[in-house]
Amino acid sequence: MGKNYKTIAIPKKLFKCLNQLANNSGFENTEEFVEFVLEEVVNNEQDNNNELTNEEKDEINIGLKELGYKS
């Protein structure tokens, strides 16, 4: 089953820069490079959103101490 795609518009100057980066990075085409970059940005953002807050870490540590796993 193939991927579903949606088209977006970007400025020609930006596309030219992306095309050059794609060629210099060994990607088959600009679209493959742009997809890779966007996936990296989204994954990085998702990873940042999944980090525990200090309050959550403190609650976990208190719970572990109460259970005897930490002193």
pLDDT 10s digit of each residue in the chain, 71 long? 567 989 999 999 999 999 999 999 999 999 999 999 999 988 877 766 667 778 888 888 888 887 787 77
Q: What is the pLDDT of residue 29?
A: 95
Report the candidate in 2, 35, 34, 1 with the shortest Cα–Cα distance to residue 15: 34
Sketch the domain layout of the chain as residue ranges: 12-66
Q: What is the pLDDT of residue 62?
A: 84
The one-character DSSP state at 3 is P
CB distance 16 to 6 below 8 Å: no
| Phi and psi torsions of 67, nearest 5° | -85, -5
